[in-house]
Structure 1
């Protein structure tokens, strides 16, 4: 399971942030029970910015109830694979399918889903497990709910040579352990 950027700074800014974090925490508990790894990504940036790694806002939300066995990876780009060890961490754990959740639908979740596919991984995008900004995309005239729906449809229909992407609501996600 991969959790994208559910950070103290971002959670209050996204659509139904606390509800989203609680849903992701429940999925993470289910993943751990099944022996599946939980990887939490954290967006960081240069010192003195909102994403300064030392800033309290960059901390992952305590609502996630992360465990010491969970892996936390800092990233500096929307694509969580870009200049991180995410691919190596997943390969080391023999992960071939990501259950993907997090923030923000139209930025880091989208970029990470596409990159995972290009890395040859299958992706289960939790259809109710990601969120955009609370106001959606006002420039495009889309509410937050419309942004989620649009990206669910776009990503599920994307063609990638590596993996496949399927949508599943959180209530229908089942984790299995390989081997």
Structure 2
């Protein structure tokens, strides 16, 4: 088991985009149920040692519309509950940050919230690994935070997309661990 030293008062969990419309998509390599279960387990562990959980959600009403080669299409109008957190995520305590881009730091209050709370390390879980999670991890690293990615607390639209981020991008800007390894480190920090 690869141990990480975590300080309770300076660690936050960022739960990225676990909204009904996103969770209904076909995901790989981890199912939406696995991602939500692992995110909830991390939130429980973080809360047990006095850490902060921040739930991040996407505001789909103001998506950027720049031209790209592969346009992302959203249903119009959005189905009922598409933008709502899953019930498991709704039950988590902690602030909610609404983002309008892939990354949770861009044009949001997240950095101020973390700085005022004395946070220096962030654990990140959510969907999609190579979009919202990766963008947030890059921004967190650029803002000087220590970044830990919960590999099995993330998933994407394909195994290849997930694995490229996990094996090629994240090791350069973060430490990648399983939910079990992170929870073990949290439990060790409480001894």
Q: Which TM-score band applies after superposition, normalised by the shorter structure? A: 0.7 to 0.9
The two structures have a TM-score, normalised by structure 2, of 0.76
How many residue pairs get matched? 161
**SS of equivalent to 2:60:** coil
Higher RCO (CA < 8 A, seq sep 6+): 2
1:3 counterpart (15, 26, 29) = 15
- Please tell me whether the aligned partners of residues 117 and 123 of structure 1 are also in contact (alpha carbons under 8 angstroms): yes
**SS of equivalent to 2:153:** strand
State the superposition RMSD in angstroms. Answer: 2.4
1:167 counterpart (158, 166, 176) = 176
Q: Give the deviation of 1:50 after TM superposition.
A: 5.0
Shift in CA distance, 51/129, structure 1 to aligned 2, threshold 3 Å = farther
List alignment gaps of at least 5 residues for structure 1: 137-143, 159-163
Q: Kindly report which structure 2 residues correspond to 1:95-114, keeping only aligned pairs within 5 A, or say none.
A: 95-114=119-138
2:140 counterpart (116, 128, 131) = 116
Q: Kindly report which structure 2 residues correspond to 1:47-126, keeping only aligned pairs within 5 A, or say none.
A: 50=75, 56-64=81-89, 66-67=91-92, 69-126=93-150
- Please tell me whether the aligned partners of residues 43 and 51 of structure 1 are also in contact (alpha carbons under 8 angstroms): no
CA deviation vs aligned residue, 1:43-73 (integer Å, no higher than 9, x gap): 01227x6598995211111123533x41111
1:147 counterpart (161, 166, 172) = 161
**SS of equivalent to 2:46:** helix
Distance 2:109 2:130 in 1: 23
CA deviation vs aligned residue, 1:112-148 (integer Å, no higher than 9, x gap): 1001000001100112111002xx1xxxxxxx2x332
CA deviation vs aligned residue, 1:75-131 (integer Å, no higher than 9, x gap): 000011010000011111111010000000111111110010000011001121110
Q: Which stretches of structure 1, 4 residues or longer, exceed 3 Å deviation after superposition?
A: 49-55
- Please tell me whether the aligned partners of residues 60 and 83 of structure 2 are also in contact (alpha carbons under 8 angstroms): no
The two structures have a TM-score, normalised by structure 1, of 0.81
**SS of equivalent to 1:56:** coil
Counterpart residue number, 1:31: 46
